[in-house]
Chains A and B, each alone.
Chain A
Amino acid sequence: MKLNLHLFYKIIKSIFFSSYTTVLCLLFLSVLVLWGTLYQIDNGIYAAKERFFNSWFILIKGIIPFPGLRIIGLLLIVNLFLMFFKRNYSVKNIGLTIGHLGIFIFLIGGAIISYTAKEMFLSLYEGNSSNMASSYTQWEIAIWTNNNTSTNKSNNITLFTDTITPGLIYSLPFLNSSIKISRYYKNCLQPFMSEFNNMQLSNYQQYQNKIEPLETSRDPSDNLPCAEIEFIKNDTVVQNISLFGAISSPTYIYFLNDTIWFLLQRKKIQLPVNITLIDFIKENYPQTQMAKQYKSIIKVVADDLNREAVISMNKPFRYKNYTFYQASFYQNKGIESSTFAIVENKGKWLPYISGAFMFLGFSIHFIIKLFTYIKKQKQEKL
């Protein structure tokens, strides 16, 4: 037993306590980054991220394992941490120590951010306001009624499509009925928008069988899903409903005294602030269509905040852990809308802190070394 423990310790030591591990990790990481970059040419950035940079292992040809970013990163963090005990803490090496501390913070920060940061977006027309952002990739089916008798919140339900399994039955307690998702596709052919504007329910019927799945897009935010729902009361199917991701107005059916609304939409995320778009401005270079600056003037209202702010390219608006960026815009016949990318990030300052450490540490080290070298050269001359 004792021997085994000793052996175990030896193995652990030789793996984590060794600078050979660092070298090997860096080599593997270089290969991984190069490979992941070239992989993007044919497969797009999202697939490359999933396969190389958000994974523990990559299987080459489905058989041979190659370490993914997570495992190399973890190994590097542990290795770097343990190497702090082995370090030579002389004044001469102070720069290196500080720099490596920066890298350690950076790696930890990177891990925290990659697990916790959430990305979403918010599109607003001028004059409109909202406190709900949308997810890029996740979708939900919202079902609600607005009967005259009650307006409380319990008469609605939201199903997240990530958790939907076609064939299962979901109950709608506020209607004493249930629905069954008979089909759901992540990406499918969308009917032309103009055909659907203000369309009556009866017209939807002709699209019942038109649900046509497509191959999922390279960039998952481009996917437009569709779903087919059966509305069930007392074990009989009352109505079939088709929902399409590209249709932003809800579909409704009449049932007894109620109107029931259905909407397949990007998952809504509650923001801690209410944003009103006052004005969107696109500045061009004189006499060209080339943009010089995009700018949105917004009004922000929160518990502790009520003021105007400007979001422009390279100048985001920050509130608590949320940051709002100018992402895109829409201009047509005097109607203007602006889209903000929103990131909720708890560790957003970590890269800045670690960057400062690296800069300071390695610069000190480099300068010390440079002066030593110059001194040596002069001595040699003499």
Chain B
Amino acid sequence: MIFRFFKILFFILTYSSLLFAKNDFNPNGLDQLLILDNGRLKPFDTFARNFLYQFSGKNKISGLTATQWLARVIFSPLESSDDKIFLVNNQEVLDAIGIEPQKRRRYSFNEIKKGYHKLIDLAHSIQNKDSKDCSAFENEVLRIAQNITDYMQLSSIFMFFMPYHEFNIDDSLVCEYLGIDNKNSNNLSFYDVFLLSDKISNAAKESLKKEKSELKIFDMYMISLDRTIKKWENSSGEHPFHIIPVDSGGNLEWITPWDLMLRAKSNKDNLNLIKQLFEIRKSYLDKDEKTFSKAINNFNNSVKQKIKPPHVKIELIYNSIDPFFKSKILYLIASIISLLLFTVIKNRFIFFINIFLILLGFLFHSFGILSRIIILHRPPLATIYETFIFVSWLCVLMGMFLEFIQKRHLGLFIASLCGFFFLHLASKYNAGDSMGMVAAVLNSNFWLTTHIMTITLGYAGCIIAGIISHIYLIQKLFFKFSHIKLTSTFSTIYGFLCFGFLFTLIGTMLGGMWADQSWGRFWGWDPKENGALLIILWSAFSLHANSTKIIKETGFAICSIICFCLVMFAWIGINLLGIGMHSYGFTNTGKTFLFSFMIIESLFILLCVFVLLFINKINPKIFSKQ
């Protein structure tokens, strides 16, 4: 019975994305198409997700998966220009570019197109400003303008396959000369004409030699076709769609379909590839799933022969499962159950369900981290997003360890709460592509692993100590727990703070060594370094003050809450300052969060101090040892 329940739960969690997807044309195999983007080979699926998230802040749009949506954008742009994908957070932008605001927050390309020129003009006037000086409105303008430009680039990837009016031919003589079927002559694309461009340019040369009076319709066609082709050839198409590996001087260069098109005339292989692409597009437009998947698989195989293919399958599974979201939800449920277990309920069955939920979440979580390691070939610690995920993972691990030795449900509560909290925080930092390449100074797996791993361990220790301190203070000041229970909670705080101190210290020393290796100084009073030092100093202060009996248990708990705040300051706050050498971590996210976090913590500490000083004084019996 229980197992069936879990089985169903597991299936729902894993395949929920498929259940809700509308059965539109299913571009099988397209999701595996390899694209070189931002310095990394990634499957089409990731590429599409990144763009969809960038435009709309969502992973799905009107029932379409990201792959289905992007397929529509690149293969049949007209159809997709009514998709409401552009997220507009600030209504003033719409007012400024002359578009009637609607009740919804997302707009289609066709809607925004009306204000396109105004938008671009606005963006140009702001472009040279330092992003720090930009107002929220200006940032929004820049963001939307960027999205529209990106969208237009995406939609024009296969423009050369689309019929274009300047290539229309209404003359049977011309058709005959070029060998074009009369029926199709009004539907010609650059692709059709370009393959015949030698013929056309020869004829155009001849025609140009003639006197003006001798020119016939045939000559006029040739000259104008020749000009249009040249015009197209010279307009460089900057598309972010590098899908074809080409050997260029020993190195593998990845080119776009447009580049391939221009190179197709001289090279038979390239011509074949272009024909394959044409086939893919045609079968998409014909809604012929079988031919489509056959053609795309052929294309994928031809690419895979030229390179050592990356782990596409793992990345696709990673994308479709969305492991961090799932573990976040599981942790959330588990943390509520744990809180109940910790306080009121005493039930072994619920306890086991709780353990199972946490373990399942931990499984998803670990899978997510592991697949990132495999996909990116580096430890998953290079961005602030990744450190949140990793610290969350460490907290869950430590919480379970605590549960293993203490068995008081406190460990499970900490594990699930921290897991949920930091995964949620991480999702705030995930803007589109979370698998970018790292700056040159970070490009060292040895130091990434040793330094950041230890420092995040330290952070995790201090955080757990801080969270348990809340519990301790609540237990002591508001619920008057027994002395034995309090001592047990306190020893946990002490242990975790020691752990946090130890690893922050080692991590900071390692960081100093890394800085010594790459910047030439062990210590430079850079804000990020100071942040870590602050945690060390404060926890050292707390430990010494406690051992000299200057502060007692309650004071120590308050000190470790302050330590928790310092961790958040060093972790999030320093990046907000925007100064120092750790510039690869700068971001503006989390300002509100950090601010409200600090205020809430200060209020909590003030409340505790108030209760301690005044209520304790008025009625000392309340807090006397039981």
Q: Are B518 and A325 in contact (CB under 8 A)?
A: yes
Q: Are A40 and B579 in contact (CB under 8 A)?
A: yes
Q: Does residue B340 face the partner (Cβ distance < 8 Å to A)? A: no
Q: Which residue of B lies closest to A381 (CB)?
A: B407
Q: Are A285 and B437 in contact (CB under 8 A)?
A: yes
- Chain A residues, CB < 8 A from B16: none
* Chain B 30-61 near chain A by CB (<8 Å), digits 1 or 0: 00000010111000000000000000000000
Q: Does residue A130 face the partner (Cβ distance < 8 Å to B)? A: no
B115-123, B427-435, B440-448: which lies at the interface: B440-448
Q: Does residue B608 face the partner (Cβ distance < 8 Å to A)? A: no
A56-64, A161-169, A224-232, A347-355: which lies at the interface: A347-355
Q: Are B443 and A313 in contact (CB under 8 A)?
A: yes
Q: Are B517 and A315 in contact (CB under 8 A)?
A: yes
Give the contact-size bracket for chain A: 35 or more
Q: Beyond A41-B579, A45-B526, A316-B520, is A351–B39 a contact (Cβ under 8 Å)?
A: no
- Chain B residues, CB < 8 A from A358: 505-506, 509
Q: Does residue A5 face the partner (Cβ distance < 8 Å to B)? A: no
A330 to chain B, nearest CB (A): 16
- Chain A residues, CB < 8 A from B521: 117, 119, 343
A377 CA to B506 CA in the complex, in Å?
28
- Chain A residues, CB < 8 A from B513: 351-352, 355
A370 CA to B612 CA in the complex, in Å?
31
A92 to chain B, nearest CB (A): 14
- Chain B residues, CB < 8 A from A45: 524-526, 579-580
A19 CA to B541 CA in the complex, in Å?
11
- Chain B residues, CB < 8 A from A313: 440-441, 443-444, 518
Q: Does residue B530 face the partner (Cβ distance < 8 Å to A)? A: yes
Q: Does residue A286 face the partner (Cβ distance < 8 Å to B)? A: yes
Q: Are B514 and A314 in contact (CB under 8 A)?
A: yes
Q: Which residue of A lies closest to B530 (CB)?
A: A37
B70-78, B323-331, B348-356, B544-552: which lies at the interface: B544-552
B409 to chain A, nearest CB (A): 15
B215-223, B309-317, B463-471, B494-502: which lies at the interface: B494-502
Q: Are B522 and A23 in contact (CB under 8 A)?
A: no
Q: Beyond A41-B577, A41-B579, is A293–B548 a contact (Cβ under 8 Å)?
A: no
* Chain B 246-266 near chain A by CB (<8 Å), digits 1 or 0: 000000011000000000000
Q: Does residue A335 face the partner (Cβ distance < 8 Å to B)? A: no
B100-108, B142-150, B532-540: which lies at the interface: B532-540
Within 8 A of B (CB), among A53-104: 53
- Chain A residues, CB < 8 A from B253: 287
* Chain A 314-357 near chain B by CB (<8 Å), digits 1 or 0: 11100000010101000000000000011100001001100100
A24-32, A184-192, A193-201, A258-266: which lies at the interface: A24-32
Q: Are A323 and B520 in contact (CB under 8 A)?
A: yes
Q: Beyond A26-B544, A40-B579, is A293–B443 a contact (Cβ under 8 Å)?
A: yes
A341 CA to B515 CA in the complex, in Å?
13
Q: Are A343 and B39 in contact (CB under 8 A)?
A: no
A351 CA to B517 CA in the complex, in Å?
12
Q: Does residue A170 face the partner (Cβ distance < 8 Å to B)? A: no
Q: Are A366 and B499 in contact (CB under 8 A)?
A: yes
- Chain B residues, CB < 8 A from A342: 520
Q: Are B440 and A292 in contact (CB under 8 A)?
A: yes
A48 CA to B544 CA in the complex, in Å?
28
Option from A37, A292, A363, A381 in Cβ contact (under 8 Å) with B527: A37
Q: Are A287 and B502 in contact (CB under 8 A)?
A: no
Q: Beyond A23-B541, A41-B579, A359-B506, is A314–B534 a contact (Cβ under 8 Å)?
A: no
Q: Are A29 and B531 in contact (CB under 8 A)?
A: no
Q: Beyond A37-B531, A285-B437, A286-B254, is A373–B516 a contact (Cβ under 8 Å)?
A: no
Q: Are B541 and A292 in contact (CB under 8 A)?
A: no
Q: Does residue A369 face the partner (Cβ distance < 8 Å to B)? A: yes
Within 8 A of B (CB), among A38-52: 40-41, 44-45, 48-49, 52
- Chain A residues, CB < 8 A from B527: 37, 40
Q: Which residue of A lies closest to B546 (CB)?
A: A23
Q: Does residue B406 face the partner (Cβ distance < 8 Å to A)? A: yes
Count of chain A to chain B residue pairs whose CB atoms are closer than 8 Å in the complex: 149
**Residue of A36, A37, A287, A341 ringed by the most chain B CB atoms within 10 A:** A37
Q: Are A23 and B534 in contact (CB under 8 A)?
A: no
| Interface size of B in residues (CB-CB distance below 8 Å) | 59
A34 CA to B510 CA in the complex, in Å?
21
- Chain A residues, CB < 8 A from B533: 33
Q: Beyond A119-B520, A352-B513, is A34–B505 a contact (Cβ under 8 Å)?
A: no
- Chain A residues, CB < 8 A from B38: 285, 288, 290
A23 CA to B514 CA in the complex, in Å?
30
Q: Beyond A26-B541, A27-B541, A314-B444, is A110–B530 a contact (Cβ under 8 Å)?
A: no
- Chain A residues, CB < 8 A from B242: 287
A136 to chain B, nearest CB (A): 12
- Chain B residues, CB < 8 A from A40: 527, 577, 579-580
Q: Does residue A135 face the partner (Cβ distance < 8 Å to B)? A: no
Q: Does residue A16 face the partner (Cβ distance < 8 Å to B)? A: no
Option from B501, B505, B517, B540 in Cβ contact (under 8 Å) with A314: B517
- Chain A residues, CB < 8 A from B574: 37
- Chain A residues, CB < 8 A from B512: 351, 355
Q: Does residue B439 face the partner (Cβ distance < 8 Å to A)? A: yes
Option from A27, A110, A314, A377 in Cβ contact (under 8 Å) with B447: A314
- Chain B residues, CB < 8 A from A113: 522
B90 to chain A, nearest CB (A): 27
Q: Does residue A125 face the partner (Cβ distance < 8 Å to B)? A: no
Q: Are A26 and B537 in contact (CB under 8 A)?
A: yes
Q: Are A377 and B36 in contact (CB under 8 A)?
A: no
Option from B254, B519, B540 in Cβ contact (under 8 Å) with A325: B519
Q: Does residue B278 face the partner (Cβ distance < 8 Å to A)? A: no
A313 CA to B442 CA in the complex, in Å?
9
A40 CA to B491 CA in the complex, in Å?
38
Q: Are B505 and A362 in contact (CB under 8 A)?
A: yes
- Chain B residues, CB < 8 A from A286: 36, 39, 254
Q: Does residue A291 face the partner (Cβ distance < 8 Å to B)? A: yes
- Chain A residues, CB < 8 A from B254: 286-287
A62 to chain B, nearest CB (A): 23
Q: Are B505 and A110 in contact (CB under 8 A)?
A: no
Q: Does residue B523 face the partner (Cβ distance < 8 Å to A)? A: yes
New A-B contacts (11) at CB < 8 Å, excluding given A33-B537, A34-B534: A19-B547, A286-B254, A290-B38, A290-B39, A314-B441, A314-B514, A342-B520, A351-B509, A355-B509, A362-B502, A369-B498
Q: 23 interchain pairs (CB within 8 A)?
A: A29-B537, A30-B537, A30-B538, A37-B574, A49-B525, A113-B522, A119-B521, A285-B437, A287-B39, A287-B253, A290-B39, A293-B443, A294-B440, A314-B444, A314-B447, A325-B518, A348-B516, A351-B513, A355-B512, A363-B502, A369-B495, A369-B498, A373-B405
A-B pairs, top 10 by smallest CB distance, nearest first, are A285-B39, A26-B541, A355-B509, A37-B530, A325-B520, A30-B537, A288-B39, A314-B518, A291-B440, A343-B520
- A residues lining the B interface (CB < 8 Å): 19-20, 22-23, 26-27, 29-30, 33-34, 36-37, 40-41, 44-45, 48-49, 52-53, 110, 113, 117, 119, 284-288, 290-294, 313-316, 323, 325, 327, 341-343, 348, 351-352, 355, 358-359, 362-363, 366, 369-370, 373-374, 377, 381
